[in-house]
Amino acid sequence: MFEYVRASHQAYVDASTHLAPADRLRLPLFSAPEFTVVAVGTRYLHIVGTREVLPAPMGSEICLKDSIGDLKWVLRFYDSTVIPGLAVIDETQGPAIASVHDALGLRSTLYHLSIPPGSGLSAHHAQHAGTGLAHSHAAAARDFETLVSLAPHKSALVLEMNSAFVNDLSNAHALLALAIAPNLVIANHEFGPVRKALIKELRGITGD
């Protein structure tokens, strides 16, 4: 698990090297001085990145620190022997992401990977996960720069929307988009489609 997390973060670093130095450090994983990665064993294996600080390990709990350049994280491990509530989470229909967050008391996350039973944890799998995450974060950064240029008088709301994205708060992200453009029509609360719809709406309003 330690090697998988490290490999995924190495891929994140590698995929972001094409960005300008300051832009790279604005990406969510770089902008946190140190973040926590939680590996949670239920029916699925959940790997969650968060800026939230967890209590110091007790008893048999394990805590490992690692870093790659400007990326610094602490890796923690949890299963039902540490948090009994994890044992009652029902994942027969798919990963119960919200229930895992609740069991840990997490209110915000930087990323959440859910790995199905029987899936591999090779460096190859980790590379795909880390590269995809970096591309997603970089695309979001470009979208938010565009939004500020299209709605400079609502830059504070765009900043809040960016914060909602960084903390994986999709409902807040969508509500802030509606606050920026009240006539916006969105089909769902997925981050990418909401931003793209907002950019399209604002371009129609400004005539750009």
Q: Output the DSSP codes for 19-59.
A: S-HHHHHHSHHHHSSSEEEEEEESSSEEEEEESPPPPPP-T
**Cα–Cα nearest to 168, from 29, 6, 33, 12:** 29
Q: Is the pLDDT of residue 116 over 70?
A: yes
Task: Assess contact for 184 and 198: CB atoms under 8 A.
Answer: yes
Count CA atoms closer than 13 A to 159's CA, side-chain side: 5
Report how far residue 54's alpha carbon sits from residue 63's, in angstroms, rounded to the nearest whole number: 10
Amino acid 122 reads S
Residue 134 buriedness (CB in 10 A; 0-12 / 13-18 / 19+):
buried
Amino acid 119 reads S
Task: Assess contact for 36 and 53: CB atoms under 8 A.
Answer: yes
**Residue-wise pLDDT tens digits, 62-109:** 899 999 998 999 999 999 989 999 999 999 999 999 999 999 999 889
**Residue-wise pLDDT tens digits, 134-174:** 999 999 988 999 999 999 999 999 999 988 888 778 899 99
Q: Is the pLDDT of residue 207 over 70?
A: no
Give pLDDT, residue 194: 95
Q: In the block, which residue shows the tokens 């300008």?
A: 20
Domain coordinates of the chain in residue numbers? 2-134, 151-206
Q: Is the pLDDT of residue 208 over 80?
A: no
Instruction: Using pLDDT thresholds of 50, 70 and 90, give the confidence band for residue 206.
Output: low
